[in-house]
Amino acid sequence: MGARLRVFLNAAEQQTLFELRTATTVPQRVKDRAEVVRLSHEGMYVEEIATFFNWNIQTVCQTLHRWQQHGLGGLWDAPRPGPQARWHVTYISFSTPGYLVDAQK
């Protein structure tokens, strides 16, 4: 086994991570990262967590380090570089026939 990397949580953090796990509006990546942090708190080794999620060990370590450095905000993805994609109504009309007619009513 490698070096022991473990996270310790207080009761409020445990409750928050549990609520994240059951939330419906949170992306699955964030839910998985919250579960990684919770499993580390429960005493699982990094290697065991990586096997459980079918992740690389380095990914689990990065997730735990992000939690230690940024807390809850470290579980979310950073904004992607570059401009946001812009959709025009003509693009939508090509992909979904009949949508343009319904949207103009």
Q: Choose the weakest-confidence range: 40-44, 68-72, 85-89.
A: 85-89
- In this prediction the pTM is 0.73
- Each residue's pLDDT tens digit, 25-34: 999 999 999 9
Give the start-to-end residue ranges of the domains of the chain.
11-75
Res. 90 pLDDT band, cuts 50 70 90: low
Mean pLDDT, rounded, for 1-22:
86
Distance CA 97, CA 10 (A): 53
**Distance between CA atoms of residues 74 and 54, nearest Å:** 21
35-47 exposure pattern, b = at least 16 Cβ within 10 A, e = fewer = bbbbbbbeebbbe
